[in-house]
């Protein structure tokens, strides 16, 4: 059987490819929430298991000349754990597949393990197994499992007209850190170190995401591809419009580097990924957990509207197969 598919991945795009793949994957009655969200929800004898997976490839997702092995392990574990808690799940276990060149020092692999282990421990999860193989470059793939503890999972598709759009965490820090690492500007020792660290080892507030879920969030998404892109996923899945006020975003930690480099810090805040903040929609009569703040509302319509700045010149967020011209 030949599956029709015109063009190449660059022309189709990451999310176009995901859509094509989804169409080829029928789901059994055991699957409550399948491909297309941050994590899956599958029936189990005593409730539900929430599952997600993520892959990191050397020189695409991380660089050994920028990061220590422990930093890389922490960052990759965080990407998976954040997806679980965005569904309202308590992380329980990680399975790690690791491929590397034969000449990689053993110490590097052990330090990677420590980073994975320590980040998982922040949520109470354990690394319970995995696989090892040889490859020309390092590839790390994680499958993460979580428990809803009797609650219903939070979906992207649950946003309701009249909901508030709320943000837990600060967006743009990792993107600013990447810009700093990629630049050739001279900075004083320690200057903008918080931004550099935010890219290398993001500080994820897992407890706050779970608190939003317990408070009754109708929808939630881990901000890994950029606020506009991830909020767009919620709007599309829910069949609503999400309108946000860009002036509500905190740019204070971005402004200094943005001025030095000559960019608009709002671009980082709206389109930068890998901070693993959380964007959610929730009823306006709910008491929001401390640490979250309102940035907009859910309206009738479709897509994402941004008040307070012009976003038409920016790509909404990260796409692995976006063609660079």
Q: Tell me: the pLDDT tens digits for 27-44?
A: 767 678 877 777 788 777
| Enclosing domain of residue 287 | 156-307
pLDDT class for 185, splitting at 50, 70, 90? confident
pLDDT at residue 171 in the model: 97
pLDDT at residue 140 in the model: 96
Residue at a domain's end among 147, 169, 185: 147
Structural domain includes residue 324: no
Question: Does residue 131 register a pLDDT over 90?
Answer: no
Number of domains in the chain: 2
Burial zone of 103 (CB within 10 Å; 0-12 exposed, 13-18 middle, 19+ buried): exposed
pLDDT at residue 23 in the model: 82
Q: Where in the chain does DSSP place strands (E)?
A: 31-33, 40-44, 47-57, 90-100, 126-134, 139-147, 164-168, 219-223, 241-245, 277-282, 292-299, 303-307
Q: Tell me: the pLDDT tens digits for 268-302?
A: 999 999 999 999 999 999 999 999 999 999 999 99
pLDDT at residue 244 in the model: 97
pLDDT class for 154, splitting at 50, 70, 90? very high
Question: Does residue 324 register a pLDDT over 50?
Answer: no
pLDDT at residue 82 in the model: 97
Segment among 45-49, 126-130, 143-147, 166-170 with least mean pLDDT:
45-49
Q: Do both 104 and 239 map to the same domain?
A: no
pLDDT at residue 59 in the model: 93
281 CB-side CA count, 13 A: 28
pLDDT class for 14, splitting at 50, 70, 90? low
Burial zone of 101 (CB within 10 Å; 0-12 exposed, 13-18 middle, 19+ buried): exposed
Q: Do both 140 and 161 map to the same domain?
A: no
Question: Does residue 170 register a pLDDT over 90?
Answer: yes
- Show the tokens assigned to 171: 């967006």
pLDDT at residue 316 in the model: 60
Segment among 16-25, 70-79, 206-215 with least mean pLDDT:
16-25
183 or 70: which leads in pLDDT: 70
Q: Do both 84 and 49 map to the same domain?
A: yes
Contact status, residue 159 vs residue 242, Cβ threshold 8 Å: yes
Contact status, residue 281 vs residue 200, Cβ threshold 8 Å: no
- Cα–Cα distance, 143 to 139 (Å, whole number): 14
The share of the chain scoring above pLDDT 90, in percent, equals: 68
Whole-number average pLDDT of the chain: 88
pLDDT at residue 172 in the model: 97
pLDDT at residue 1 in the model: 41
Q: Do both 181 and 301 map to the same domain?
A: yes
Q: Helices (H), strands (E): how many in the chain?
A: 10, 12
Q: Do both 166 and 59 map to the same domain?
A: no
Structural domain includes residue 36: yes
| CATH number of domain containing 253 | 3.90.650.10
Question: Does residue 241 register a pLDDT over 60?
Answer: yes
Structural domain includes residue 313: no
Return the top range by mean pLDDT from 125-139, 176-190, 196-210.
196-210
Structural domain includes residue 10: no
Q: Do both 71 and 207 map to the same domain?
A: no
Residue at a domain's end among 113, 147, 181: 147
Q: Do both 67 and 206 map to the same domain?
A: no
152 or 11: which leads in pLDDT: 152
pLDDT class for 323, splitting at 50, 70, 90? very low
Q: Do both 104 and 186 map to the same domain?
A: no
Structural domain includes residue 320: no
pLDDT at residue 2 in the model: 41
Q: Read off the pLDDT of each residue in 164-177 and give the average, rounded to a whole number.
A: 96
């Amino acid at each position: 059987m030949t599956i029709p598919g015109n063009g190449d991945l660059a022309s189709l795009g990451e999310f176009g490819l995901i859509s094509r793949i989804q169409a080829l994957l029928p789901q059994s009655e055991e699957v409550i929430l399948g491909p297309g969200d941050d994590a899956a929800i599958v029936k189990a004898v005593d409730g539900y298991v929430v599952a997600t997976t993520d892959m990191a490839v050397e020189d695409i997702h991380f660089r050994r000349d920028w990061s220590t092995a422990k930093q890389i392990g922490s960052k990759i574990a965080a990407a998976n754990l954040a997806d679980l808690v965005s569904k309202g799940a308590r992380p329980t276990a990680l399975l790690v597949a690791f491929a590397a060149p034969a000449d990689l020092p053993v110490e590097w692999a052990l330090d990677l393990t420590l980073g994975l282990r320590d980040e998982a421990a922040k949520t109470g999860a354990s690394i319970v197994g995995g696989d090892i193989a040889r490859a020309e470059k390092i590839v790390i793939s994680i499958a993460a499992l979580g428990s809803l503890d009797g609650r219903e999972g939070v979906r992207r598709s649950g946003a309701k007209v009249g909901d508030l759009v709320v943000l837990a965490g600060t967006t743009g820090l990792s993107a600013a850190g990447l810009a700093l690492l990629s630049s050739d500007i001279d900075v004083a020792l320690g200057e903008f170190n918080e931004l550099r660290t935010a890219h290398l080892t993001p500080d994820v507030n897992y407890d706050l995401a779970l608190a939003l879920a317990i408070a009754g969030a109708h929808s939630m998404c881990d901000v890994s591809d950029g606020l506009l892109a991830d909020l767009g996923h919620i709007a599309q899945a829910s069949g609503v419009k999400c309108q946000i006020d860009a002036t509500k975003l905190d740019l204070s930690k971005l402004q200094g580097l943005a001025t030095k480099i000559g960019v608009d810090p709002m671009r980082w805040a709206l389109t930068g990924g890998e901070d693993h903040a959380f964007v959610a929609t929730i009823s306006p009569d709910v008491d929001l957990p401390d640490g979250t703040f309102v940035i907009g509302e859910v309206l009738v319509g479709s897509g994402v509207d941004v008040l307070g700045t012009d976003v038409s010149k920016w790509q909404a967020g990260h796409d692995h197969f976006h063609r660079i011209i």
